[in-house]
Amino acid sequence: MTEIELNSLTRRTLHAAYRVHSNLGPGLLESAYVSCLAFELRQAGLDVMMEVPVALVYQGVKLGEVGYRMDILVEKELVIEVKSLDKVAPVHLAQLVSYLKLSNRRVGLLLNFNVVSLREGIYRRVNKL
């Protein structure tokens, strides 16, 4: 996928996230936001996978799946990690970056829905591959 296509996919995903946040507001469990965001993305005609296992690769050897799961994977390219937190900590962003590296994907979004304005809860990270 080209950079232009990834940016378009990111925009479409963010529009869906804004719809979810506008309808639900802050204060719910992450699982509610994951389900509703997946629904919105599918309604937009996008391929969506939920709870996608992430294999651990160490020194070039795939050691298997050890419990890591991406909340949502859009079009097999965009990693989405959903949170509902009072404050996003550096470890949450590190988790997203780790998922990008382990899955060999370039772009990820961390979306924290527990904010008054979703704009405050959007974090985008890029894996240079």
Total of domains in the chain: 1
Dump pLDDT digits (tens) for 21-78. 999 999 999 999 999 999 999 999 999 999 999 988 888 888 877 778 999 999 999 9
- N- to C-terminal Cα separation, the chain: 13
Report the share of the chain in percent with pLDDT over 70.
Answer: 100
Could you list the residue range(s) of the whole structural domain that residue 9 is in? 3-126
Q: pLDDT tens digits, residue range 83-128?
A: 999 999 999 999 999 999 999 999 999 999 999 999 999 999 999 8
Order of all β-strands in the sheet with 107-112? 48-58, 61-74, 78-83, 107-112, 122-126
What letter does residue 77 receive in the DSSP assignment?
A: T
DSSP H or E run through 119? none
